[in-house]
Amino acid sequence: MSYIPNENRYGKMIYLRCGRSGLQLPSISLGLWHNFGDVDDYANGRKVILKAFDSGITHFDFANNYGPPYGSAERNFGKLLREDLSAYRDQLIISTKAGYDMWPGPYGNWGSRKYLLASLDQSLHRMGLPYVDIFYSHRPDPDTPLEETMGALAHAVRSGKALYAGISNYPADKARRAFSILRELGTPCLIHQPKYSLLERWVEAELLDLLEKEGVGCIAFSPLAQGMLTGKYLKGIPVGSRAQRADGALQAENITPEILDKINRWNVVAQKRGQTLAQMAISWLLKDPRVTSVLIGARTVEQLEENLKAAYSTSFTQEELKDLNL
**pLDDT tens by residue, 25-68:** 999 999 999 999 999 999 999 999 999 999 999 999 999 999 99
Tens-place pLDDT, residues 236-248: 766 555 554 555 5
Please indicate, yes or no, if residue 106 is contained in any of the structural domains. yes
Give dist(CA 127, CA 162) in Å, integer: 13
% of the chain with per-residue pLDDT over 70: 95
> pLDDT at residue 254 above 90?
no
| Inter-residue contact 186 to 154 (CB < 8 Å) | yes
Global pTM reads 0.95
| Inter-residue contact 192 to 167 (CB < 8 Å) | yes
Mean pLDDT of 173-185: 98
Residue/partner pairs of 242-249 with CB below 8 Å, 24 or more apart:
none
Mean pLDDT of 224-242: 80
Sign, Cα dihedral of 228, 231, 236, 239: negative
% of the chain with per-residue pLDDT over 90: 91
CB atoms within 10 A of CB 305: 14
pLDDT value for 244: 47
CA dist 320 to 264, 265, 279, 312, Å? Answer: 14, 11, 14, 17
pLDDT value for 235: 80
Q: Provide the residue range defining the domain that includes 24.
A: 9-226+277-309
Mean pLDDT of 81-100: 98
Please indicate, yes or no, if residue 149 is contained in any of the structural domains. yes
Please indicate, yes or no, if residue 314 is contained in any of the structural domains. no
pLDDT value for 248: 59
Amino acid in position 90 = D
Q: What are 137's strand-pairing partners?
A: 98, 167
Q: What are 30's strand-pairing partners?
A: 60, 296
Please indicate, yes or no, if residue 253 is contained in any of the structural domains. no
Q: What are 25's strand-pairing partners?
A: 16
| Inter-residue contact 61 to 326 (CB < 8 Å) | no
For every residue of the chain, which 3-state class applies, written as one string?
Answer: CCCCCCCCHHHCCCEEECCCCCCEEECEEEECCCCCCCCCCHHHHHHHHHHHHHCCCCEEECCCCCCCCCCHHHHHHHHHHHHHHHHHHHHCEEEEEECCCCCCCCCCCCCCHHHHHHHHHHHHHHHCCCCEEEEEECCCCCCCCHHHHHHHHHHHHHCCCEEEEEEECCCHHHHHHHHHHHHHCCCCEEEEECECECCECHHHCCHHHHHHHHCCEEEEECCCHHHCCCCCCCCCCCCCCHHHCCCCCCCHHHCCHHHHHHHHHHHHHHHHHCCCHHHHHHHHHHCCCCCCEEEECCCCHHHHHHHHHHHHCCCCCHHHHHHHCC
CATH of the domain at 57: 3.20.20.100
Q: What are 197's strand-pairing partners?
A: 200
> pLDDT at residue 186 above 90?
yes
Give dist(CA 220, CA 208) in Å, integer: 11
Tell me the pLDDT of the chain averaged across its residues: 95
Tally of structural domains, the chain: 1
> pLDDT at residue 75 above 60?
yes
> pLDDT at residue 189 above 90?
yes
> pLDDT at residue 74 above 70?
yes
pLDDT value for 1: 59
Q: What are 98's strand-pairing partners?
A: 137
Buried b (16+ CB within 10 A) or exposed e, 15-46: bbebbebebbbbbbbbbbbbbbbeebeeeebb
Amino acid in position 218 = C
Q: Pick the closest to residue 103 from 61, 64, 147 (CA basis).
A: 64
Please indicate, yes or no, if residue 19 is contained in any of the structural domains. yes
Please indicate, yes or no, if residue 3 is contained in any of the structural domains. no
Give dist(CA 239, CA 51) in Å, integer: 29
Mean pLDDT of 176-182: 98
pLDDT value for 76: 98
> pLDDT at residue 80 above 80?
yes
